A and B are shown apart, each in its own frame.
Chain A
Amino acid sequence: MKVLIDNWSTYWHGFLGTLALTGVSAGLALTVGVLVAAFRVSPVRPLRAFGTGWVTVLRNTPLTLLFFVVVLGLPRFGIVLPFFTFAVLALGCYTSAFVCEAFRSGINTVPAGQGEAARSLGLTFGQTLGLVVLPQAYRAVVAPLGSVMIALAKNTAIAGSFSVVELLGTYHTVNELGYSVIWAFVWIAAGYLLITLAISALFGVLERRAAVSR
């Protein structure tokens, strides 16, 4: 407990850093992920190809490598951003591939006839997806999406190695001040647990709500 109290400010800033990274990256991942999922089921071949390429590249690249590409690569093209933004880009794009696949598998649980009926009534592709298919896919998407978000929260730890203030990186500071490494890590673990359990609880609620809505 003493480790936590003595280093409260360090831990608190690390915790907030991880929370911010998780939150903003999740927003980016969800937006891009849904968009790419729409591409992958669209009737337009180039969009489908782009979606497949996006998922294949990002899902199969180690996240650390992706961080290197973003942090070292983008400045070469004159794109210099704060490290936090770089980290959000890497985490968000990486996670969007998994979000996309969660949505796509959800979309595949909706019988093809639902989409056909919507199109036969004159609804456009976007309306068909947004009004008929996704609302029915939602139920099947919630649980895997929860797992993806928890993985994202834990993946933010990599950002610490790229000059972003986050929870795991606090152990450097605490360790240098001569505190027990083991206790330093115990409190870090507790911080991650707080975030991931909160995500679990949130998705638990969403899942229950999706279950009763029909």
Chain B
Amino acid sequence: MTTTSPPLIELAGVNKHFGELHVLQDIDLVVGRGEVVVVIGPSGSGKSTLCRAINRLETVESGRISIDGRPLPQEGRALAALRAEVGMVFQSFNLFAHRTVLDNLTLAQTKVRRRSHADAERRGLDLLDRVGLASHADRYPAQLSGGQQQRVAIARALAMDPKALLFDEPTSALDPEMITEVLDVMRGLARDGMTMVVVTHEMGFARASADRVVFMADGRIVEDRPPEEFFAAPRSARARDFLAKILQH
């Protein structure tokens, strides 16, 4: 990494309201290449909105968001091209219900990346193998468990060879025993140097895999520190309170 290259994801002075609710308040956030940033906070703190704003699934009212040094374009082809560079994994998986697992992985490769069908399938099967689901290529999403669907969703995002991956509560809709299989895949990605922004309640993942923990409350970033510092000695009362609640059980 050269010192002149811009950070991969940069938010500066970002604001957004949902009606009266000020969900994002003067958000500044920088994510460097290869960094894993975990965003935690109580529900309604704006962390999902923050994650979705990065690829403009949520529009913002003011402030600047840039990816790889380029500001986010308005709706249109330029925005679509930029989204192809930033993968996203959703809480509810959102696999295309009318297509097989493999088709889910090849669709955007052929339509956006313009790869040949054969190349797309090869890449798709490679990635399915990596998430341990090569034998499920011809099934439909509804025939898979939640954990399997989420692993396919991660593979689908990876098939585009994105520069960064956004995870919006990827394990919140999963049964406990399936959380592990998804987190294993995510830990592997983090080890391989993928740039990741992860909104999650999995403190174990934050401790083990995050380079930084961003703690949000009421639409603001309250703390932004390495996990060992944050979990050992949170500075704000808000974070202490939050950690006390979730670490109790």
Binding site for B on A (CB under 8 A): 43-44, 111, 113-114, 116-125, 127, 131-132, 135-136, 213-214
Contacts and interface: CB of A to CB of B under 8 A. Distances in A.
A124 B87 CA distance: 15
Given A44-B75, A114-B94, A214-B98, A119 B57 contact: yes
A117 B105 CA distance: 12
Interface residues of B, number: 29
A117 B80 contact: no
B111 interface: yes
Nearest to B57: A116
A36 B165 CA distance: 35
A125 to B, nearest CB: 8
A124 B77 contact: yes
A136 B90 CA distance: 19
Given A131-B107, A214-B140, A123 B112 contact: yes
A122 B94 contact: no
B94 A123 contact: no
Contacts of B81: 122
A120 B160 CA distance: 11
Interface in B194-239: none
A122 B94 CA distance: 15
A121 B83 CA distance: 6
A117 B112 contact: no
A114 B96 contact: yes
A123 B88 CA distance: 13
A117 B97 CA distance: 11
B98 A135 contact: yes
B83 A122 contact: yes
B151 interface: no
B231 to A, nearest CB: 31
B156 interface: yes
Contact of B94 (A43, A117, A135): A117
B15 interface: no
Contacts of B80: 119, 122-125
Nearest to A115: B94
B95 to A, nearest CB: 7
Contact of A116 (B77, B94, B156, B160): B94
Contacts of A214: 97-98, 140
Interface string B44-58: 000000000001010
Nearest to A43: B75
Contacts of A131: 107, 111
A126 to B, nearest CB: 10
B108 interface: yes
A88 to B, nearest CB: 34
B92 interface: yes
A121 B108 contact: yes
A44 B86 CA distance: 23
Contacts of B88: 116-117, 120
Contact of B96 (A44, A117, A213): A117
B97 A120 contact: no
